[in-house]
Amino acid sequence: MTGGADDTPIAELLRSWREPVLGRWIELVGETVHGRLSEAEVRSELTELYGLVERALEGDTAAGDELRAALAEISRGRARHGFSPTETAVGVFALKQSLYEQIRMTRDQRAYSELIDFSSYVDELGLATFETYAAAREQVIADQADQLLELSTPVVRLWDRVLGVPLVGTLDSARAQIAMETLLQALVTTGARYAVIDITGVPAVDTEVAQHLMKTVMAARLMGTHCVVSGIRPQIAQTIVALGIEFGDIVTKATLADALAYVLERSGLRVVGEPEG
């Protein structure tokens, strides 16, 4: 695609109309960013893209690769800034509109014949942002999910046949489910008689979390393990009461230390300080 009569006229057009077409493109995109990006950021991004599009259309394959990389980078940034994938792609499609407007104004005959090819070329670029955007979003979500799962539910041995399950972070359905399964599995392998589920690190207990907790306690009970829920901070206690959640006969304690003391006492154990001397 290089040299002589095969030169893509559209590349020439883009070059000669750089000022109005790029300017209008920046304007169109600027209208949609609603303050999430500055005008200067939009200008510098689109100026770079425009230059790369010109070169790629002239057959510069290195520029083509660079263009895709730049688009990928931009869509990752958009994903992080909270733009929707459609907004991101539409930002690229706006280049077509800008060019159409210019062609309509100048009635340049050469341009019309190029439009279809150019249009599908821009569509392809726009769709490429879609893919990167989706991949970036999925990555963000996967990272979050991994964080949650990694954080979730270490089951620790607090005492002989007493397990502790410290729950930290947001307890969504998936995590609560995993917490329950991990605990029940640990009960099987350790034959624990008591389990302390500590929710000190859970920022909010809503009805779904409460329901999961209750189900876990019931299931453990069926397996012969007595559960205590600890770490109920004052703001959580007030919220639970206002929600109208009743924990029934489930034993709850303010702190993990209280729960451990309770469990030890029920096991007939007493912690005795060594006499000084």
Partner 1 sequence: MTTPSGEEMPIASSDDVVRVRQVVRAAAAAAGLSLVDQTKLVTAASELARNTYAHGGGGAMRVERATGEDGRKGVRLVFTDEGPGIADVDRALSEGWSSGTGLGLGLPGARQLCDEFGLRSEAGGGTTVTVAKWTR
Residues that bind partner 1 in the complex, under the rule CB under 8 A:
141, 144-145, 170, 172-174, 203-208, 210-211, 234-236, 238-239, 242-245
- Which C-beta is closer to partner 1: that of 16 or that of 144? 144
- Choice between 65 and 206, CB closer to partner 1: 206
Cα–Cα distance, 187 to 271 (Å, whole number): 25
Q: How far is the CB of 238 from partner 1 (least distance, A)?
A: 6
Minimum CB separation of residue 172 from partner 1 in Å reads 6
SS (HEC) of 149-163: HHHCCCCEEEECCEE
CB of 233 to partner 1, least distance (A): 9
Q: Which is nearer to partner 1, 215 or 221 (CB)?
A: 215
CB of 86 to partner 1, least distance (A): 12
Give the nearer residue to partner 1 in terms of CB position, either 65 or 138.
138
In terms of CB distance, is 115 or 236 closer to partner 1?
236
Q: How far is the CB of 167 from partner 1 (least distance, A)?
A: 15
In whole angstroms, what separates CA 213 from the centre of its chain? Answer: 26
Measured from the CB atom, the residue of 191 and 201 that comes closer to partner 1 is 201
To partner 1, the closest distance from the beta carbon of 93 in angstroms equals 22
**Closest distance between partner 1 and the C-beta of residue 145, in Å?**
8
Contact 177, 152 (CB under 8 A): no
Assess contact for 79 and 137: CB atoms under 8 A: yes
Q: Tell me whether residue 98 or residue 152 sits nearer to partner 1 (CB atom).
A: 152
